[in-house]
Structure 1
Amino acid sequence: MPWFPEFSTAIELARRDARAREQADPVAQYLKALYDGRPGVLEKAWPGDVVVHDPRAGAIHGHRELRTFIHDNREWMAAHHSRLKVVGSITVGGRAVVELLVHVLHEGREVAWPVAVVAQSVDERSVEFRTYCSQWPVDGLRHIRPPVLEAGAVETTDVVARYLDTLAGGDAESIVKSFEPDGYLQEPMDTVHRGTAELRAFYAGSLSAGGIDVQPCAATDDGTNCALEYNIDGPPQAGLAVFERGADGLLAAVRLYDDITR
């Protein structure tokens, strides 16, 4: 039957095409699986290895652990009446970063909880998800988050590089000058410091004991927004910051996703 090989090839091409469509927005698929409590959408789109780095659950490897994690996470979300809202996204190559505002019920009141999720496709069948946030809004505690990635040869440029250099040097005034006049910093607990006076007060307090050395691990940069995954020493901890550039080349915003005390 000479048509059989062509038929088999057509089926495989159709499967790959369907998988490519499902993989086009990996974070959306991940959030849908978490919210619905159904891992099947991820298992279908990523039949290879799936790895999740979650601040509460730790490292999850493979589909069996993924099913348990999604089931437990769905129960937690239901108990806290969680609602998700996407507030920003960056996609470059095989990596996507989505910023969320998660509304949860904590101690009888609704709180806004900033969360960032990174999805990185390591090959056409496998994916890794890394979530960054502070757990303070949902349990009132600081949690030391061990490094998720190793610090590497990540090059930052322009105002992002200047910000990191002045942060390491503990120069609060120079940091403030890297922001637009109406620029703002969003802390992991959703507290916002906007404008020169508020930024100066925040950084003067944060850097009173000296500079903060940020060790870049990975960057997702589309030219306007740069999501930087990093480690900080003392003890080593993981975090993510999103730098939003303004039209004049200064920072319109810096949004932090970590549990690091400043």
Structure 2
Amino acid sequence: MVWIPQIADLVDRIGAADLADALRDPASATVPVALDDPEAGRISGVAVLAAWLEVQDTWRAEHKVDIEEVATTIGARRAVGEWIVHLEGPDGERAGVPVAVAVDPASKLPVRIHHSRWPLLGRHVVRRPMLEPDPAVHASDVVGAYTAALDAGDTAAVVAAFGPDGSFRGPSEETYRHAGPEELTELYDALFAAGGGIPLKLCTVTEDGTRSAFEYICDRWGDADLPPQPGLAVCTRGGDGLILSARMYDDVEGPVE
């Protein structure tokens, strides 16, 4: 349940002014608008969207929300925005929820919100996929090597895709960041301990030359079949062409954590 008002600004940046206006004021919508949220699910229709956005305004105020921008990836067809939503939990402690949003004006589902429920609930929640895998979609260069190494469960190949200062952040906040070859090796050895790799079925890839953002379906982890679940990852390349940072946004609960 995390709506970020800056999403409308991101929509404006890719020239979809009608969609941006509809997100700011659903009553004035001149184009169909639909979005998918990890808690609420599919939201469409002027009245439903307007009511949901009003609830979101109240929720942000009650939880003293501050929104930190992380990065924006703008490609030829879509854009991906990343933020960390800092909020006050029920115990009064501040928490951070990493959120990524894919904005895809040509899609029947033009706004797709990705984040884990773990920082909010202390548990994962299985979520239905928003897109179908597309066999024609492939990640390029080092990002393609990284996803292939994930599929194969090859720790050495995964770590080789990262630069010497490369880091990985999972779908929780910065306390779950792993940096450098030693920490990355320990992380991926643990993730692959379930008997194999983590194949990701790609749905979209958005490239801007520096960052590669890809939406995916995960339905297998090692030897375990999982309910098909959606996610989004963003890899940033460093000056050496290797991965400087990788950030994941999903709620996949695998056989290991």
After TM superposition, the score normalised by the length of structure 1 is: 0.82
Task: Report which of the two structures shows the higher radius of gyration computed on alpha carbons.
Answer: 1
Residue aligning to 2:123: 141
Residue aligning to 1:95: 78
CA distance in 2 between partners of 1:174 and 1:227 (Å): 20
Equivalent in 188, 192, 202 of residue 203 of structure 1: 188
Residue aligning to 1:259: 251
Equivalent AA in structure 1 for residue 50 of structure 2 = R
Residue aligning to 1:236: 228
Equivalent AA in structure 2 for residue 239 of structure 1 = G
Question: What 5-or-longer segments of structure 1 have no aligned partner?
Answer: 1-20
Equivalent AA in structure 1 for residue 206 of structure 2 = T
Q: Residue 121 of structure 1 contacts residue 128 of structure 1 at CA under 8 Å; is this kept in 2?
A: yes
Residue aligning to 2:12: 24
SS of structure 1 residue aligned to 2:156: helix
CA distance in 2 between partners of 1:173 and 1:92 (Å): 30
SS of structure 2 residue aligned to 1:183: strand
Equivalent in 218, 227, 237 of residue 204 of structure 2: 218
Q: CA deviation at 1:217?
A: 0.3
Q: Residue 104 of structure 1 contacts residue 138 of structure 1 at CA under 8 Å; is this kept in 2?
A: no
Q: Which of structure 1's runs of 4+ aligned residues deviate more than 6 A?
A: none
SS of structure 2 residue aligned to 1:24: helix
Question: What 5-or-longer segments of structure 2 have no aligned partner?
Answer: 1-8, 220-225
Residue 23 to residue 179, structure 1, CA distance change in 2 (3 Å): closer
* Structural mapping, 1:1-262, within 5 Å: 24-25=12-13, 40-41=24-25, 44=28, 46-106=29-89, 107-122=91-106, 128-152=110-134, 153-190=136-173, 191-209=176-194, 210-233=196-219, 234-262=226-254
Residue 173 to residue 23, structure 1, CA distance change in 2 (3 Å): closer
Identity, in percent, stands at 35
CA distance in 2 between partners of 1:104 and 1:26 (Å): 29
Residue aligning to 2:3: none
SS of structure 2 residue aligned to 1:122: coil
Residue 22 to residue 90, structure 1, CA distance change in 2 (3 Å): closer
Residue 42 to residue 223, structure 1, CA distance change in 2 (3 Å): farther
CA distance in 1 between partners of 2:11 and 2:213 (Å): 21
Q: CA deviation at 1:151?
A: 0.2
CA distance in 2 between partners of 1:158 and 1:63 (Å): 42
Residue 121 to residue 256, structure 1, CA distance change in 2 (3 Å): same
**How many aligned residue pairs are there?**
234
Residue 40 to residue 199, structure 1, CA distance change in 2 (3 Å): closer
CA distance in 1 between partners of 2:33 and 2:70 (Å): 25
Q: CA deviation at 1:174?
A: 1.2
Q: Residue 35 of structure 2 contacts residue 110 of structure 2 at CA under 8 Å; is this kept in 1?
A: yes
C-alpha RMSD of the superposition: 2.6
Equivalent AA in structure 1 for residue 126 of structure 2 = I
Residue 63 to residue 195, structure 1, CA distance change in 2 (3 Å): same
Q: CA deviation at 1:223?
A: 1.2
Q: CA deviation at 1:94?
A: 3.5
CA distance in 2 between partners of 1:23 and 1:182 (Å): 32
Which sits farther off after the overlay, 203-212 or 126-135? 126-135
Q: Residue 25 of structure 2 contacts residue 50 of structure 2 at CA under 8 Å; is this kept in 1?
A: no
CA distance in 2 between partners of 1:80 and 1:203 (Å): 35
